[in-house]
Structure formats: C-alpha cells, structure tokens
A and B are shown apart, each in its own frame.
Chain A
C-alpha cells in the first residue's frame, strides 16, 4: 500500500508514470544485464531522442528541392547547436537501426518469440521495418549527391518487382524520377506517418510484453523472488540511458553527419550505392536475376520471419541463450560456414563468365536466377543434413542454425557491397576505395 512512502512529493508523479510502463514488482532474475542487454529499452530511448531532435530540425528544414540543401547548410552553419542537433539525429538514427536489429537477434536467440509471445514478435518485426523506412525516408532529406542517388538506386530496385513494381515506385516517388514530389512524399512520411505508426505500435509492443509477464526467464529462474521496480529496475534503466545519451553526444560532437555537393540529377557519382542497410540487397542483385534477388528471396525470408513463432516445437526452451550447449556449438559452425560460403559464392559468381554471353536471349532468369538459387538452396540443405547427423540436433536448434547462416550471409553481402565495391561496382580492396 505504501510503495510511495519513501519517495518525496515531487518524485511521485514521475514514479506513477514509470508504473504505467512497468509493474510494481519485477522478477529479480530479469534484472540480469546479460539476459537482455537492455536493447529494447535503448531502442525506446532512441526513438524519443529522434523525435526531440527531429522536431527541432523541422523548424528550419525546407522540404523542397530548391531550399532543402541550403536549409541543411543553414542549420549546420548559422544555427546555435544546429550542427549538433543534426549530428545527433544522424548518429542516433544509425544506432536505432543497429540496436533494434540486435534486439531482434536477442529475442530470437533467447527463444522469447515463442508461445505465448508470438504476436509480440510479429509487432516487433513490424517495428523494425518501420525503423528501416524511417531511416530510408530521412536519407533523402539533405538532397545532396549521396542521398539523391542512394534513393534513386534503391527505389529503382522496386521496378524489378513484376506487375505492381513500377506503379508502387511511381506512387512512392510521386512521379517518374526522384524530384520535388519525392521530397515532399518522403518528408511527410518521415515526419508524420511513420513516427505516428511507430509510437502506436510501440505502445502495443510494451503492453504485450507486460501482458506476457515481463521479460523472458528460463524454467529454473521462473520462481526467483520479486523485487520492487523502484529502485531496482529504474536505477538500472537510468544508468543505461545516461551512458547511451553520453555516447550519442560524444558521437555528435566528434563526427559530422556526411553532406556532399548539392544533388545533381545529371551526374551520377561512381559508384552509386544504396543506403548501407540496403547494400546487401544491391549486392544480391549483382549475383542474381532481379526476379530472384528482389522477389523470390525476400518473400521467402519474410515469410520465414513472420511464421517463425508458429513452428511446432517439442522443446519449450526459453530464456536461455542459444538454447543449449549443442545449440551454441552448431551455431558457431553455422556462422563460420555462412561467412565462408557467401564469400566463395561471391568470388565464384565474379570469376565465372557472364551466362548472357553463352546463352543469349531470354534465358537469363534460368541461367542467372534459377540455377544459382537452386545451387544455394541445395548447398544449405546438405550442410544442414551433415550438422543434423553429426550433432543430432532438434528442430529449434535446426531453425537457429539456419537463421544464423542467413544472417551471416546478409552480413557478408552488405560488407562486400559497402566496403569492397569500387568504380563500376567492381571488386576492390577497401583501402583502395
């Protein structure tokens, strides 16, 4: 009854607010930092930072092609703390994407997506997609050479989706090319629609977690004693928040957000790259026929991610990193195999002659699409077969290994696309870039 008794009159409202997000008492075992690394909380804090700095930047930003670039220059040069706000907005956008992604990995590897938390996973994935879209729509706003061509290249990828691709692209761009209509669309999505959706889904996400009884815990720790949220959890959250804010401030003071020359639709830079989080996809386009790179593979991946909580699993292991000792071992092997296999695949695809020159005509969907796709699927299948026979893993460990292979592959593809592709997208060492 007298939970608030040790609190002063002035801190009580704050405590009441916190109690809207947290229960009065939490399990002591959930306080362990290495269980969750506080990633979900960090994401929420970063969204608040983005809204705060974004609202300030919005006072001075001019969302049309004539004024956009100059308004960024004015924010950087003429405004007290303008450059700092811009830098913080830039760095915490990147951090937000990284941390929400790591949060998803944490949830996956601790089995926190399983029953009864299936819907929490689904909404979490939707939130991650919104964070990516938020990053992407913000990417165009400076209207410099980097942002203009990155958005041109990545929206052109949409054109390869059959039937609806070019219509969707035209709707998104508000016209045929990236121009004034695109900037106004992106600005409105970035500062209106996406933040609203993000906040609504976040509230739902928090509620789902609380309904499921808070953070995930393992079977052994299920009966750990309850402790007061204040100060046990609140103090820990405060420490994480302050460290994170200090880190962002440091980044913002030390490193400026990039700004190249003003966008020039006539001259494409060489090479023109998509934003870094889409570079894996652009790299995939180099090796696969567009129909496979843009339609088949992403659809399979997203179907897998959304269906994940509904796979029937006999063991109900939750709250333990990588399921079991066996899971840890096979996970390590899968990560290494995914890395090496992807590198070999890229080098092979680079060394082999262009199939177009051997089999000209309309067969490219087979020669550069179906054949490499089947090659990849079969290699993964046989690799998993060997792992399964050697370690006699169960279904959840199988899914975990598969997931690790895919994450490793996308990481290699992104890394190669970002750091190993020079002029004309030819392979090159990063120090020669």
Chain B
C-alpha cells in the first residue's frame, strides 16, 4: 500500500520534471530566436530613416533613377509625381533592372516583369514591387527607407507630388 502512494508521488514528480523540461526547451528556443533577430525593432514613428535623394529639379519628368546602395528606384512620372520602388523582386528576392525600351522592370532570375508603377506584367511574381513612402520637403525629395510597404498593386495614393 505504501508502495502505491510512493509510485503516485514519484510519477507526479517525474511528470513535473518532464513538463518543466519542455517549458525550459520552449524558453530556450524563444530566447535563441530573439537573439538571432538583430537589434530592436525600430519604432517607425520615432526613427524614420529619411534618405535625402536630391532636389526635385534633379529628376527630369518621366525618368527612373537607381540608388544602388539603398536598393530602390526613384521614379518621376509624367505628371511630375514621385514613386520609390524597392529593387527586390517580390518572387524570390532577386534585384530587378530597368529596361528603357520596354519601359519595364525585368527580373533576371525568373523573368518576372513589372511596369513603371511596379505592377506585375509577367508572372511568376505574386504581387507588385514593394514601395517606400516619399516625402517632399522644401524642394527636397526624401525617401523613407524605414518603411518598406507591401501592396497588392499600384494605387494613386502611393505617389507624392511637389506642391
């Protein structure tokens, strides 16, 4: 009889150890993933990473300018509006290139194509190119590199105009 009580207590303790072990493993996993993510996520509002791309007049109407270091294209549309598109293809992350003749962004990896608004012209890309908000302040074009925004397709709201 005393044996039964003993095994009851023992199995309880064993079970406790097992669950504690599982909990410890889960904590360790979360801890590890937390460490793998480098740095703290920036508060978007506090730390806008505004990139000074140049004066409004530096960009001729209907032009595409590449910033190779920060990996975006700055597009000046026919109506004078600005649009900043990410260089990274939405399919598998290759860098797209601007083709002047076709007026398209072409991905060399898997032949996705995008028009100058970043909309998909040719699959396999599943969605339009990501864009960065553009802010125009006292004649300067500022690209907010801290906010890379995903979208299904182009919308007029994504264009910024100099007043």
Contact = CB atoms under 8 A, between A and B. Distances in A.
Q: For this complex, into which size category does the number of interface residues on chain A fall? A: 35 or more
B6 interface: no
Contacts of A286: 110, 124
- A contacts with B: majority SS: helix
- B contacts with A: majority SS: loop
A425 B87 contact: no
Q: For this complex, into which size category does the number of interface residues on chain B fall? A: 20 to 34
Contacts of A23: none
A198 to B, nearest CB: 17
A290 B126 contact: yes
B71 A149 contact: no
B121 to A, nearest CB: 12
A426 B111 contact: yes
Contacts, number: 74
A177 B126 CA distance: 19
A354 B108 contact: no
Interface in B87-123: 87-88, 91-95, 97, 107-111, 123
B95 A268 contact: yes
A174 interface: yes
B126 to A, nearest CB: 7
B37 interface: yes
Contacts of A195: none
Nearest to A160: B126
A350 interface: no
Interface in A279-333: 282, 285-286, 290
B33 interface: yes
A419 to B, nearest CB: 17
B36 A185 contact: yes
B38 A175 contact: yes
B111 A266 contact: no
A172 B36 contact: yes
Interface of B: 33, 36-38, 68, 71, 87-88, 91-95, 97, 107-111, 123-124, 126, 148
Task: Give 6 nearest A-B pairs by CB, closest first.
Answer: A424-B111, A156-B93, A268-B94, A270-B108, A272-B109, A156-B92
